[in-house]
Amino acid sequence: MKKIKGFGGRSYGKTEKPEGIEKIQQQMKEQLEKIEEGFENIEVTGTAGGGAIKVTAKCNYEVSKIEYDNSLLDDQEMFNDLLIAAINEALREVTKRRDEEFSKVVGFGGLPNL
């Protein structure tokens, strides 16, 4: 396709991305994929009730372990509340850790740290 110059210096027609941008995009994509794969090996912990319940989650948003003090089973409502609090804490930690890992690849304004 031939580019046509319009009034005001604008070009119309198909334009190509500079090769450098495509290379940077491909490198970022590969780095992000590698980080995403590694999230299944990174674990974080959320606790509630002063450590009475401990939830361990992987950074791919999978809960891998729940530990709790057996005495909590006497009060099911409190157990449920603490379990929910610990899971939410673990999920916040997952999000925080994911953000930290992604920020190593994508810097300020979405530009790569290469």
CATH number, domain with residue 75: 3.30.1310.10
Can you give the residue range of the structural domain that contains 46? 42-105
Contact in structure between 108 and 88 (CB atoms under 8 Å) = no
- Using an 8 Å Cβ cutoff, are 4 and 12 in contact? yes
112 closest CA partner among 28, 22, 18: 28
- The number of distinct structural domains making up the chain is 1
φ, ψ for residue 37, nearest 5 deg: -65, -35
The average pLDDT across 48-71 equals 95
Structural domain contains residue 22: no
4 assigned to some structural domain = no
Please say whether the beta carbons of 11 and 5 come within 8 A: yes
Give a yes or no: residue 93 inside a domain.
Answer: yes
What is the per-residue pLDDT across 60-107, written as a single tens digit (0 to 9) for each? 999 999 999 999 999 999 999 999 999 999 999 999 999 988 887 776
